Amino acid sequence: MIKNVAVIGAGTMGNGIAHVFAQFGYNVSLIDLSEESLSRALTTIEKNLDRMVSKEKISENEKADTLGRLKTFTSTEEGVKGVQLVVEAATENVDLKLKIFRQLSEITPDDVILATNTSSISITKIAAVTNRPDKVIGMHFMNPVPVMKLVEIIRGYSTSAEVTQLIMSTSNSLKKVPVEVNDYPGFVANRILMPMINEAIITLHEGVAGVEEIDTVMKLGMAHPMGPLQLADFIGLDVCLAIMEVLYEGFGNPKYAPCPLLVNMVMAGKKGVKSGEGFYNWSHGTKDLIVSSNFAKK
């Protein structure tokens, strides 16, 4: 029975995951090396809860109870004491994740389940550095976590059926829809989504159409709520590039090669919403999309 959960990483995904677990009755330890990141995360969670109160989705008492179930830690060793599940939501960097899981393997009891929110890195590879590969699993939440219903549950080569079932039912308790998938590069979501985004960038790079035109075709023609270039900005172009590199390396197929334009934009620091500019200029906010001056028609 899972009652106490630790979430490692207080960024966008980590604070969303902590929010959801706390909202649905779990005691949550949110862990990050940076006090500033933890403070920012709690502010974000409170704002999101306020929005839910204003929309009458939760009451003021439920908001207070949710915040009351959240504790923050800068020490991983302190934060994971007494938990039955750890969800790692650190940066999408394989060396960092392997380091975290080696540490978790050493400092948590053998029966603690170790989950990762990775969007593309092999669960089997992560599990291999632990002393309990049968209890390592992927829980790939979608952003924004409090809103999006899907959780990809990824079974590594050694993940047990019992752990998989427990994590599926735990995800259901968060009012999410868990989908079980096997451990291959990109899983399902990003194996399909990222090549589409990459192809949209290639289409722009080759001058077939402009930013607005590409996004309009996909929104109005394919009923996508957001065009692929706007979505890439929202996800983060650096994240898109990292996932394409995992797909390319994992399959060795040229169709997964990242577009040179994507590579150059990330090198130039144009990472989308997080940096203020990508295919669109985000410095003004998000209400009215302004195409970045690098792509605006002359």
Other CB atoms within 10 A of residue 164 CB: 17
What is the rounded CA–CA span in Å between residue 85 and residue 271? 32
* Beta carbons of 75 and 222 less than 8 angstroms apart: no
- What does the DSSP 8-state code read for residue 257? P
Residues labelled catalytic: 119, 140, 152, 190
Give the sheet arrangement for strand 136-141, strand by strand: 70-73, 27-31, 4-8, 85-88, 113-116, 136-141, 150-155, 177-182
Query: Shortest CA distance to 280 belongs to which of 229, 218, 242?
Result: 229
Question: Residue 87 region, left (φ>0) first, then alpha (ψ -120 to 50), else beta?
Answer: beta
Residue 126 tokens read as: 């992560």
* Beta carbons of 214 and 200 less than 8 angstroms apart: yes
Residue 17 tokens read as: 């995951």
